[in-house]
Amino acid sequence: MRVWSRTLSGRLYKVSSSFSKNMAKEDNQSLHNGYNENNRVRTLRNHLNPIRTSAPSCIVFPPDASHFNFKPDIIQLLPSFHGLDLENPYLHLREFEEVCNTYNDLNCSMNTIRLKFFSFSLKDKAKTWLQNLRSGSIRAWDEMQQQFLKKFFPSHRINSFKRQIATFTQKPGETFYQCWDRYQDLLNTCPHHGFETWRLVSQFYEGLTPKDRQMVELMCNETFENKDPDEAMKYLDLLAENAQNENCKENCKDDESISEGKEGVEYENCKEKIDSPPALPYPHAMTKQRKVNHNSEIFETFKQVRINIPLLDAIKQVPSYAKFLKDLCTVKRKLNVKKKAFLAEQVSFFRTIML
C-alpha cells in the first residue's frame, strides 16, 4: 500500500506503508525513552554529589573572538591588580593598554584583545569581583572600564583627591620643580577631577610661596595673568624644567668641589702618614704607669676616728692588740748592743766622781 507524504519544499511523494509503520514505531520508542529519563528517581547519592555546573561569564565577546590567536607569552607582561586601597586603578588601566597595544592581530579588533586579556591581569579581590558580575553584562571594553573604575575608584576617593587639588600648597623647603611634579602626579592620579585648565593653573599659583610666586612673575615680565590657560600650563612646565636643570648644575659643581676637597684632604693625610714614624703595635706598653700613693688618704681617714671609751675597754674589744700589750709588759727582753761607744773626757770625769 502506498502512502502520500510531503517534503520540506512542499512536494508530494509516495511512501510504502511498511516504512511509515517503522517510522511511527521509532518515534513512539524515543518518546517513551525520554519520558523514562525525565521521571527517573534520583537517589541520595545523586542529591549529595551534584553535577558540576559553571556560571556563565560576564563578558560577551564579539563575533571576531573566534579568530583570536592566543599567545601565552604576553600574559607575563601584563600588570597585576589585587584590588587594594593603595593601588591606583587608572595606572593599572594605562599600563594594561600599553601592553595590549604591542599585540597585533589582524583577525580581531583591539576591543576583543583587551577583553580577552583583562581577566588575566586581575588577582585576589579584583578577580573575585569580576567573577561576581552579572552574566552577559560586559559587551565592550568601555563598559569594562566603567564598571572597573566604579568599583575600585568610588566617589569618596574622587572627592578626597578633589579636596587635595583645591587646597594644594607648596611644602616648606620644597623647590619649584618638586612642587610642580607633585602637582602633576596628583592630577594624573585622578584624571576625572572635573576642574578646568584655568582653575588648575590658579590653584597651583596661589599655593606657591611668595618667593616662587615672584619668580614666576619675573620670568615672564609680570605678564603671567595675561596668558591663556593652556599657554600658562606650558609656561609652568617649561619653568619647572629649567629650574631642575639649574639645580642639577649647582649640585654637580658642589660635588666637584667636595671631591676636590676630599682629594686634598686625602693627599695631606697620606703625606702625614709618610712623614710620621710607624705606630707601635701596643702604644700603651710604652707609657709609664703612675703609682698612686694611698697612704695619705688612709691617714686622713683614721684622723677622723675618735674613741670615747676607756683604754682597757678598747683593748678588750681588740684581742690581738691586748695580746701585744701583755707581751710588751710581761716579757723582759735583753738589750744586746754590739756597737762600740767612744767616750770623751767629760764622761770619764763624771765616772771618777761617781766612784
Q: Could you report the per-residue pLDDT of 318-351, keeping only the tens digit for each?
A: 666 667 777 777 777 666 656 666 655 555 554 4
Supply the pTM of this predicted model.
Answer: 0.51
Query: H/E/C letters for each residue in 230-263?
Result: HHHHHHHHHHHHHHHHHHHHHHHHHHHHHHHHHH
DSSP string, 117-178: HHGGGB-HHHHHHHHTSPTT-B-SHHHHHHHHHHHHS-HHHHHHHHHHHHT--PPTT--HHH
Give phi and psi for 16, each to the nearest 5: -70, 155
**Residue 35: pLDDT band with limits 50, 70, 90:** very low
Query: At CA 348, angle to CA 347 and CA 350, rounded to 5?
Result: 65
284-293 tens-digit pLDDT: 656 656 665 6
Does pLDDT of 34 surpass 60?
A: no
- Which among 224, 209, 219, 218 has a CA at the least distance from the CA of 175? 209
Question: For the segment 209-259, what is each residue's pLDDT rounded down to a tens digit?
Answer: 999 888 888 888 878 888 888 998 998 988 888 888 887 777 666 566 666
Across the chain, what does the average pLDDT equal? 76
Give pLDDT, residue 303: 72
pLDDT digits (tens, 9 = 90+) for 170-191: 999 899 989 999 999 888 888 8
Phi, psi torsion values for 14, nearest 5 degrees: -90, 135
Reference 141, options 116, 106, 123; nearest CA is 116
d(CA 153, CA 136): 23
**What does the pLDDT read at residue 266?**
60
SS3 track for 259-324: HHHHHHHHHHHHHHHHHCCCCCCCHHHCCCCCCCCCHHHHHHHHHCCCCCCCHHHHHHHCHHHHHH
